[in-house]
Structures are given as C-alpha cells and as structure tokens.
Amino acid sequence: MFNWTLIDQIIINGLKEDINNIDITTDNLINDESISEAYMMVKEDGVIAGLSVAKRVFNIIDNKINVTFNVKDGDEVKKGTKIAYIKGKTKSILKGERLALNLLQRMSGIASISRKYKELVKDYPVRIVDTRKTTPGLRILEKYAVRIGGCHNHRYNLSDAVMIKDNHIKATGGIKEAISKIKDKIPHTIKVEVEVDSIEGLKEAIKAGADIVMLDNMGFKEMEKAVEIAASRVILEASGGITIDTLVDIAKTGVDVISIGALTHSVKSMDISLNIY
C-alpha cells in the first residue's frame, strides 16, 4: 500500500517539528510506568483514510503501543463512531496524539470530499482526478486519500508525464513547436498532454500529435464542441475552477477526465478526537 520508507520520513519530520527536545508537559507530569487506554472518535460524518499511518506514528514513538481498529480505510462513518483503540505507555500516547490525529484528520477530509465528487458523477463515464496542488511533503498521503475516496490520481510529480502548459507554449513559440520538440526528446512510452483554452488550440494540439488535451476554463458548450471535434482521438481533460456545483454539467459534456485541485488544496480536515479513559 505504501512505501513505508517515505512515510516514516514524513512521520519523523512531523515528530521533530512537534517535539524539539522533550515534551515539557508530559515528561514532567507522567511517570514512565503509567499505562493508559484511549480511543479515537469521529465527531462528524465522513470517510476514513489513514488508519495505518496514524498507527505508525504511535509505533515509531513506542513499538509496544497496541492500536486496533473498528473500521477500515474507505469506510463511511457516522458522528460518534469510535474508530480505534490504543493501549500503552501514557507518555507515548500523549506524544503521538497530535501528529497521528493531524494526518488522519487531513487524509479523512480528503477521502470524504473525494467520495462526494465520485458519487455525483457515478452515472457518467468520466474519471475524477486530483492535481499537484497538495500540501508540501504530504503528497503521497493526500493522493492515497483521494483514491480511498473513490477518485483517481493525476501525475505525482513533474517527472511522471509531459504536461505542456500555457507558459511552456509561450516560451517555446507555439503548440506545434512545443509538441514537436518534446516528442524528439522523450521515450516513446511517455504520453504528451497539452493545455489549451480554445477550440483552435485543441485542433492544433490534435494535429501535432498530443495524446491528452486539457481544456482549460472552457464553458459547457465549448466543451461539448471539443468532444465532438476530438472524436475519441485524444483523451480530453476538463480543468480550471471546477466546483461541486458545476461537476455534473461538465460530466454531461462527454469529457473523459475532470481534474480538480480542490480535492486536496482546500479541504476541511475531518474532526476526530483522542480520549484517554
């Protein structure tokens, strides 16, 4: 599921950020022998994602902490559901609490909104994908949460695929020039995506050999025309300012993919608490 080497580094960096030297409160209040039991409870409805990551936080701090779950990633949960139980040294639980919750809450918030988007277009043959508008350092976790919610991933980073955007086109001298130049330099296994903002740009990108064309901030009627012109010769991706209110109308145009930065860049974290009992 995860490259744990990368995840562990995220967690270790998070712990370094949260505990500079000692936990001045916990280390001076709680003795080393104290054992506690705690539970995590969701305080709003949503979709859970990141349970194994939260568990990993506690186990990096103390590998003797026992964490068990009542749910699994992808489950829809109701407010008040106890999703996990934790038992171990009180000090260790308190030191891991904040980071474990921060990651779990963030990932669950992303999974929850992704599920809403997916359900809205379930009757249309379109794929909802994320973007690179992620929290620096957390991309692998946030893109995982998107998948748990039922949507899909766009490229992970700039090395994954060619995407020729408006500034590339301006700097190169045009769509045809950009596609020709990039195809001369990349392996045949790499697809080329080009961003356009007009029907004329779409026609030029198709003629020049693009594999995917991103329709940037086009209106519904213009997208419908683009679908007709493309005639399945290229994958069409709608992008730019897409909201939950416009999603279905865009899906109805017949585009293949809808990319939505809001899946990760402006998500509200799910409210989850940890309570010792």
**Average pLDDT taken over every residue of the chain:** 97
Please pick, among 127, 165, 176, 191, the residue that the annotation labels catalytic.
165
Quick check: is 165 catalytic?
Answer: yes
Q: Are residues 136 and 235 in the same domain?
A: yes
Please give the model's pTM, rounded to 2 decimal places.
0.95
- Buried b or exposed e, range 207-243, using 16+ CB within 10 angstroms: ebebbbbbbbebeeebbeebbeebeeebbbbbbeebe
Q: Has residue 1 got a pLDDT over 80? A: no
Active-site residue among 127, 133, 183, 191?
A: 133
Q: Is 233 among the residues known to form the active site?
A: no
Same domain, 183 and 102: no
Which structural domain range is residue 211 located in? 123-265
Instruction: Kindly report, residue by residue over 112-150, the tens digit of the pLDDT.
Output: 999 999 999 999 999 999 999 999 999 999 999 999 999
Residue 120: enclosing H or E segment and its boundaries? helix 90-120
Confidence label for 31 from pLDDT (cuts 50, 70 and 90):
very high
Q: Does 30 carry a binding-site annotation?
A: no
Structural domain count, the chain: 2
Note if 195 is an active site residue.
yes
Same domain, 88 and 154: no
Whichever domain contains 154, its CATH number is 3.20.20.70
Q: What is the pLDDT of residues 239-248, one digit of tens each?
A: 998 999 999 9
Residues 94 and 155 in one domain: no
CATH code of the domain containing 62 = 3.90.1170.20
Do 248 and 175 lie in a common domain? yes
Residue 164 host element (H or E): strand 162-164
Is residue 189 domain-shared with residue 154, that is, in the same domain?
yes
Q: Are residues 194 and 215 in the same domain?
A: yes
Do 101 and 153 lie in one domain? The reply is: no
Residues 130/260, Cβ–Cβ less than 8 Å: yes
Q: Does 184 appear as a known binding residue?
A: no
Q: pLDDT for 85-118, tens place per residue?
A: 999 999 999 999 999 999 999 999 999 999 999 9
